[in-house]
Amino acid sequence: MGYRTETEILKTQVQSLYILDKLFRKNFDSLQELVDLMPGIFHVNDKSDLTIGHLNKAGEEWGLLSKEEINDMGFEYFEKNIHPDSLKYVAPRFLEFYEKADDDQLHAEFQKIRNPRTGEFDTFFTVCKPFKEHNLLLTSSNPISGIDSVTRRIERIAGEEMYVRKHFDEFRSLTRRERQVLTGIAQGFSNKDISGQLYITLETVKSHRKNIKKKTGIPTTAGLVQFAIAFELI
């Protein structure tokens, strides 16, 4: 796969979807224009019934179908184009994720999708992320063979977000409560204030603060504020 290992490339794909989510939130009024800029197959689904609201041109060209044609086919589309094993084992995991996920979570899976030109099943790496403010799901799905090129193009589109990519693993390591405490820290609240806001003990706040610094590797409050802003915790 070129200059990076497969694991590194797939990890970068997960990071890229998080970064693109931030880009979409800042420019929601231009969502379709942004979707069309996305390399590889990129689509936005309605979370309630998974119908496709936006599908980029690359996705339409690869699948030889418009979003309207896919939506009209409904479940028949999946039966015809998703490998039976992926439909049986992977699809339920995505559905479970759709039901339970919050905006700070992502889900990634390998699945096999029929190539309309060859009739054979290609292996895809699919990553999705909720966009609950608008009841949407952002999904990037790309053949393994072309994923490195897709990743490099996304890096160019969202290059200003490289701080996020650099610290993405540290952010993902924080628990929900630790992120809440970090938000309080970044907003300038004292440990006592955070304790009262979150209904946890002062000692628990201190413990979370210690863990946050250890996981992020950031010893200063100023650094934690920068981290919180980058990941839109404030």
Residue 190's CATH number = 1.10.10.10
Percent with pLDDT over 70 in the chain? 89
107-111, 143-147, 213-217, range with the lowest pLDDT? 143-147
Whether the per-residue pLDDT at 17 is higher than 60: the answer is yes
Q: Indicate the pLDDT class of residue 1, thresholds 50, 70 and 90.
A: very low
Indicate the residue among 161, 179, 199 that finishes a domain.
Answer: 161
CATH number, position 95: 3.30.450.20
Are both 190 and 155 inside the same structural domain? no
Are both 207 and 186 inside the same structural domain? yes
Q: How far apart are CA 68 and CA 54, in angstroms?
A: 10
What pLDDT is attached to residue 6? 58
At 117, give phi and psi (nearest 5°).
-85, -35
Are both 139 and 66 inside the same structural domain? yes
88 against 156, higher pLDDT: 88
- Structural domain that includes position 191: 168-230
Whether the per-residue pLDDT at 152 is higher than 80: the answer is no
**71 near 55, Cβ under 8 Å?**
no
Are both 142 and 192 inside the same structural domain? no
pLDDT tens-digit series, residues 86-133 = 999 998 888 888 888 777 788 888 999 999 999 999 999 898 988 888
Q: Indicate the pLDDT class of residue 82, thresholds 50, 70 and 90.
A: very high
Give the pLDDT mean for 184-213.
94
Whether the per-residue pLDDT at 209 is higher than 60: the answer is yes
Residue at 1 is within a domain: no
Residue at 81 is within a domain: yes
Are both 118 and 178 inside the same structural domain? no
Give the pLDDT mean for 152-163.
62
- 3-class secondary-structure state, position 50: coil
Q: Per the confidence metrics, is the pTM higher than 0.85?
A: no
Whether the per-residue pLDDT at 3 is higher than 50: the answer is no
Instruction: Name the region of 217 (left: φ>0; alpha: ψ -120 to 50; beta: rest).
Output: left
Residue at 137 is within a domain: yes
Specify burial of residue 211 (Cβ count, 10 A radius: 0-12, 13-18, 19+).
middle
What pLDDT is attached to residue 204? 95
Are both 149 and 224 inside the same structural domain? no
